[in-house]
Copies of this chain bind each other. A is one copy, B any other.
Amino acid sequence: MRDLSLRLDLCAINTATLGHRSPIEEVIELVARHGFGGICPWRRDLEGRDAQTVARRIRDAGLQVSGYCRSTYLPALDKAAFDAALADNRRAIDQAAALGAACFVMVVGSMPQGSRDLPRARAQVEEGTAILCEYARRANVRLALEPLHPMYANDRSCLNTIEQALDLAERIEPSQGARPLLGIVVDAYHVWWDPHLARDVRRAGMAGRIFAYHVCDWLAPTRDMLMDRGMMGDGVIDLQMLRSQVEQAGYQGLVEVEIFSEQDWWSRSAHEVLSTCADRLQSSC
């Protein structure tokens, strides 16, 4: 397990952690100035901007791009909407390529409004991912399926465990010894509860399919299902155990902080948030 003390260069900041309150140019500057090694921008950060220009700015600041967030939801009620989602994701994959992102983060969506058919949503995700995988191969962009906590199973993601995401990846792109193009994000917040966590992290790592590792904490109590993620160390997740498993499985990428926290961290100054992230990455992760 890597020692993160004095190694913030091994750590990255997902721009959501700062609440998307400042232009990406400022955020790049801040993240670099605090000593982090990488940044993971969202599509909204690039609105009205040229991806190449942003990419150069990130490089010039000495940062890696640990990922690019995130896919448009795939399941849809009709073919036109499904195709539109694919088209939108192709544009995002192009941006991920321009950014030189370590991966394009896929939050896949779930049942469209009015549907109760979860198996159908899952089938659509598989179909759409297979199509995007071909496109991503040509763009040389890795796709990272992010299994989301089951409390988001109805809307944000019908992929809810590492096992499920890996099974899907293996069906679309069977292991053949080659460097895989389809992998997963291990996000502590989404998977910490899983009884098969150790087994499935090992499996994912051995297959070379861990493309990103996200940290934050699960607060007890959690007051909001979306917007109350905790700073590392403030909750109940054994983050050191999880990182040791992820790294023993072979992951050598950045440790990325992603915190959605409307009431708490998003109301604090970017400086305070980033300083605390730096501190906790070195003491509680």
B118 touches A160 (CB 8 A): no
Select which of B116, B192, B236 is within 8 A of A238 by beta carbon.
B116
A193 touches B236 (CB 8 A): no
Interface membership of A111, Cβ < 8 A: yes
Main SS at interface, chain A: loop
Interface stretch, picked from A60-68, A97-105, A150-158, A265-273, is A150-158
Select which of B117, B193, B220 is within 8 A of A160 by beta carbon.
B193
Interface membership of A48, Cβ < 8 A: no
In the assembly, what is the distance between CA of A149 and CA of B118, in Å?
Answer: 17
Q: A150-B151, A225-B151, A225-B222 are in contact. Are A195 and B161 (CB under 8 A)?
A: yes
Q: How many copies does the complex hold?
A: 2
In the assembly, what is the distance between CA of A123 and CA of B195, in Å?
Answer: 12
Q: Which residues of B contact A221 (CB under 8 A)?
A: 155
In the assembly, what is the distance between CA of A225 and CA of B227, in Å?
Answer: 13
Q: Which residues of B contact A218 (CB under 8 A)?
A: 154
We find that the number of chain A residues with CB closer than 8 angstroms to chain B is 28
A118 touches B193 (CB 8 A): yes
Q: Which residues of B contact A144 (CB under 8 A)?
A: none
Interface membership of A53, Cβ < 8 A: no
Interface membership of A51, Cβ < 8 A: no
Return A241 CB to nearest CB of chain B, in Å.
8
A193 touches B155 (CB 8 A): no
Closest to A155 in B: B220
Return A110 CB to nearest CB of chain B, in Å.
9
Give residues of chain A (229-256) contacting chain B, Cβ–Cβ below 8 Å.
236-238
Closest to A193 in B: B153
Q: Which residues of B contact A155 (CB under 8 A)?
A: 220-221
A154 touches B116 (CB 8 A): no
Interface membership of A22, Cβ < 8 A: no
B195 touches A122 (CB 8 A): yes
Interface membership of A175, Cβ < 8 A: no
Interface membership of A164, Cβ < 8 A: yes
Give residues of chain A (209-229) contacting chain B, Cβ–Cβ below 8 Å.
218, 220-222, 225
A195 touches B164 (CB 8 A): yes
Q: Which 4 A-B pairs have the closest CB atoms?
A: A153-B193, A151-B151, A150-B193, A164-B195
Question: Contact residues of A with B, CB < 8 Å?
Answer: 111, 115-118, 122, 149-151, 153-155, 160-161, 163-164, 192-195, 218, 220-222, 225, 236-238
A-B contact pairs, 20 of them (CB 8 A): A116-B236, A116-B237, A116-B238, A117-B238, A118-B193, A118-B238, A149-B150, A149-B151, A150-B151, A150-B194, A151-B222, A153-B192, A153-B193, A154-B193, A154-B220, A154-B236, A155-B220, A160-B193, A160-B194, A225-B225
